[in-house]
Structure 1
Amino acid sequence: MTKIRLQILTPLKKILDEEVESVILRTTEGDMGILYDHEPVVTLLDYNTIQYTQEGVKKVATTMGGFAEITSDRVVVLTDASEFPEEIDEERARQAKERAQKRLADKSMDRIRAEVALKKAITRMNLKGSI
């Protein structure tokens, strides 16, 4: 199987830059599967995960919004933040979720920031399987 280059980039660092067999992105329109020779496209990403297969092993990382540029031989993901399961502290994510839910209940708080914080916490918890 011909491989494609997957790059996951955040404003702070390069998370991943490797050859993979396939990628599944959660876009704002739904899931998108990508193999070598995919039609070129740019798409918006949702707060969720990116799944990819490398050497026959399925792997996953979070994506906190952003977008992906897909060409026939490359997927470049630009996202606010990205983490692998082993990097996520479940307790910290649970506490962040609770704080965000309290902020959403308080009408004087910045609702948009609270919603983003809640999405991030839920994404992390989903990746760890604790929600």
Structure 2
Amino acid sequence: MATFFLEVLTPDRKFFSGEAECVIFKSSDGEMGVLAKHAPTVSAVSVGPLRINAQGKWIEAVVTEGFAKIMPDKVVILTDTAEYPEEIDINRAKAAKQRAEERLQKKLSQLEYMRSKTALARAMARLSATNRRR
């Protein structure tokens, strides 16, 4: 299968850099899969799973909001955070989920509501990734 160069970058680190056969991430329009020679585009990246097929093996991760620049021979994903399942602190993710759910039960401004929904989505994506690892 044809490959392309993939970089997944966060403000803190170069999360992934190398040849990939496929990358799948959640976008604002739903799940998006990219193969080599994809038409050039830019897409928003949403909180959720990131799956990379590199050297015939699938790599699972979780990312938060960001952008993907897709070119025929290169994809660059810029995201706030990216974590492998083994890097996720399950207790911290559970506590974050509970806090977000509690905040959503209160009367909130529109901004606070959106922040709480984002925090809940992030916590649930992190917990989902750790559950798949088991």
Equivalence map 1:90-101=2 (5 Å): 90-101=90-101
Normalised TM-score (structure 1): 0.91
- The alignment's TM-score, normalised by the length of structure 2, stands at 0.89
Give unmatched runs, 5+ long, in structure 1. Answer: none
Q: Which residue of 2 aligns with 1:128?
A: 130
Structure 1 position 13 matched with structure 2 position 13:
yes
SS at match of 2:83: coil
Aligned length: 130
Q: Which amino acid aligns with 2:114?
A: I
Q: Which residue number in structure 2 is paired with residue 63 of structure 1? A: 63
List 4+ stretches of structure 1 deviating above 4 A.
none
RMSD of aligned alpha carbons: 1.5
Match of 2:30 in 1: 30
Gaps of 5+ in 2: none
User: Partner of 2:107: helix, strand, or coil?
Assistant: coil
Identity of aligned residues (%): 38
Q: CA separation in 2, counterparts of 1:16 and 1:37?
A: 20
Could you say if the C-alpha distance between residues 73 and 104 of structure 1 is closer, same or farther in structure 2, counting changes exceeding 3 Å? same
1:112 to 99, 111, 114: 114
2:52 partner amino acid: Y
Tell me which amino acid in the other structure corresponds to 2:37: D
Deviations 1:1-46 (A, max 9, x none): 2221111111222111111111112111112221111111101111
Mean Cα displacement is larger for which, 89-98 or 121-130?
A: 121-130
Give, in whole Å, the separation in 2 of the partners of 1:12 and 1:94: 23
